[in-house]
Amino acid sequence: MDKEYVGFAALPNQLHRKSVKKGFDFTLMVAGESGLGKSTLINSLFLTNLYEDRQVPDAGARTTQTLTIERRGVEIEEGGIKVKLTLVDTPGFGDSVDCSNCWLPVVRFIEEQFEQYLRDESGLNRKNIQDSRVHCCLYFISPFGRGLRPLDVAFLRAVHEKVNIIPVIGKADALMPRETQVLKQKIRDQLKEEEINIYQFPECDSDEDEEFKKQNEEMKGSIPFAVVGSCEVVRDGGTRPVRGRRYSWGTVEVENPHHCDFLNLRRMLVQTHLQDLKEVTHDLLYEGYRARCLQSLARPGARDRTSRSKLSRQSATEIPLPMLPLADTEKLIREKDEELRRMQEMLEKMQAQMQQSQAQSEQSDSL
């Protein structure tokens, strides 16, 4: 009986269609010492050659290099869905003899994206907000150490409340299976001890099937992911070609779950939790930033120095906006004036139309 059928069950489909048309934005940051296979892994994950023309500096050059933040964009399309992937790289991290505070530029970068979003959100023209916030940070841990190093701990402590962290053990083919287990446990213990919050997988809904639940549990249990990346296809005569690394004693297959956790990472990052990572970034991390930011602006005693003078004219009832540099403010004011004028014109037109139709109806009435 169609009487009961209202029709909003089709909403997910509508959302889906809209998103597909709009496409997805995703910003992924990779961090960790150089030489842990970060670039190779990214290329393996997204089947791209983002780092093809990269020049690796030698030690002499690295002595003088400071940490830089690099962004690379790539559009990936699969099954009709477009993903605009932005990769944020942090070359120079952990290279110097003295790495004190080398994580500060990274923290600053993450906060700047939040700042930008906060401004856009508080502005008037919100139709085309560009979301450049960092949705996920893959942090690479060395397989050669004995767990997290002091630098790892310092970095993670600095960013864990600002970005979703997924810890990853790079170049995991350096480890025998037992060593991998020991290292993973050590890292998990250290993360707990240092009270570092990494990205938590959401629990499965109770109505998911057993297979999915099992997979989910397995994935959660294998964090930090021990990964191996490769962009080379190895053809061992007889067997099918696989992506892997060929050694004299055997070939590591990147996509073999017995060899490394690459498949788990890919499934988790790309196939099942891409949307959740964005949501957590928005609902939890960004909101946290926003609350902190607004609180510090609203409280008179706790206002930060830069906004003190600019806020003195605002009344207490207004929600203070984060201040922009002067030139931008001018531009914004002009833009908003334009909009207001247009809206006024439209209103006037509508009023005129209404008056006309009223006049007409009066005439017809009197006839």
Partner 1 sequence: MSELVPEPRPKPVVPMKPVSINSSLLGYIGIDTIIEQMRKKTMKTGFDFNIMVVGQSGLGKSTLVNTLFKSQVSRKASSWSREEKIPKTVEIKAIGHVIEEGGVKMKLTVIDTPGFGDQINNENCWEPIEKYINEQYEKFLKEEVNISRKKRIPDTRVHCCLYFISPTGHSLRPLDLEFMRHLSKVVNIIPVIAKADTMTLEEKAEFKQRVRKELEVNGIEFYPQKEFDEDLEDKTENDKIRQESMPFAVVGSDKEYQVNGKRVLGRKTPWGIIEVENLNHCEFALLRDFVIRTHLQDLKEVTHNIHYETYRAKRLNDNGGLPPVSVDTEESHDSNP
Binding region for partner 1 (CB under 8 A): 33-36, 56-60, 62-63, 95-100, 142-147, 149-151, 154, 171, 173-174, 176-177, 189, 193, 245-253, 256, 258-259
CB 310 within 8 A of CB 318: no
Element containing residue 286 per DSSP (H, E)? none
| Shortest Å distance, C-beta 44 to partner 1 | 15
By residue count, the chain amounts to 367
Strand partners, 253: 244
Cβ at position 174, least distance to partner 1 in Å: 4
Cβ–Cβ < 8 Å for 86, 29 = no
Residue number with CB closer to partner 1 (75 or 98) = 98
Closer CB to partner 1, 122 or 222, in the complex: 222
Among residues 151 and 324, whose Cβ is nearest to partner 1?
Answer: 151
Q: Closest separation between CB of residue 153 and partner 1, Å?
A: 9
To partner 1, the closest distance from the beta carbon of 111 in angstroms equals: 21
**In the complex with partner 1, which residue's Cβ is closer, 8 or 247?**
247
Nearer to partner 1, 224 or 286 (CB): 224
**Closest residue by Cα to residue 103 from 156, 168, 176:** 156
Q: C-beta of 295: minimal distance to partner 1 in Å?
A: 31
CB 100 → partner 1: shortest distance, Å?
5
**Residue 179 Cα distances to 143, 169, 258, angstroms:** 9, 12, 14
Q: Is 139 helix (H, G, I), strand (E, B) or coil?
A: strand
Residue type for 120, please?
Answer: D
**Least CB distance from residue 240 to partner 1, whole Å?**
16
Identify the bridge partners of residue 168 per DSSP, sorted by sequence position. Answer: 140, 225
Give the nearer residue to partner 1 in terms of CB position, either 54 or 292. 54
**Choice between 142 and 264, CB closer to partner 1:** 142
Long-range Cβ contact pairs of 283-290 (< 8 A, separation 24 or more) = 285/114, 285/161, 285/162, 285/163, 285/164, 286/114, 286/117, 286/133, 288/161, 289/111, 289/114, 289/118, 289/162, 290/114, 290/118
Residue 332: burial class (beta carbons within 10 Å; 0-12, 13-18, 19+)? middle
